[in-house]
Structure 1
């Protein structure tokens, strides 16, 4: 509420759906398929660099939640 001096707030609720489902496996070359594949490829690259993982992977985005869209 506004008593704490905050002007904006939010509420988080757990949902069983929609959900994101991905399958990741080693591969002879890096392949990223499915919805949001460009974004998923960027995240895969960042994750591998951060964790020091080398090699190629096959990532399939089987299901993804819609991208966030602001209300204002």
Structure 2
């Protein structure tokens, strides 16, 4: 188990993120005042929009990207 009894990202998703990517996410999260998991959720959501798995108007996507 990960820290504080929580499962790690890899345990939950089966996806392994490299150490450099995790460190970059942590620095970005610190700069933005957001958690690593918030950043990952946002990235996955943007991918879903990009590949049409979540239907939304293009104007909404532009707002998300800003």
TM-score (ref. length: structure 1): 0.29
Name the structure with the higher strand share: 1
Largest Rg, 1 or 2: 1
Name the structure with the higher helix share: 2
Higher relative contact order (CA 8 A, sep 6+): 1
TM-score (ref. length: structure 2): 0.31
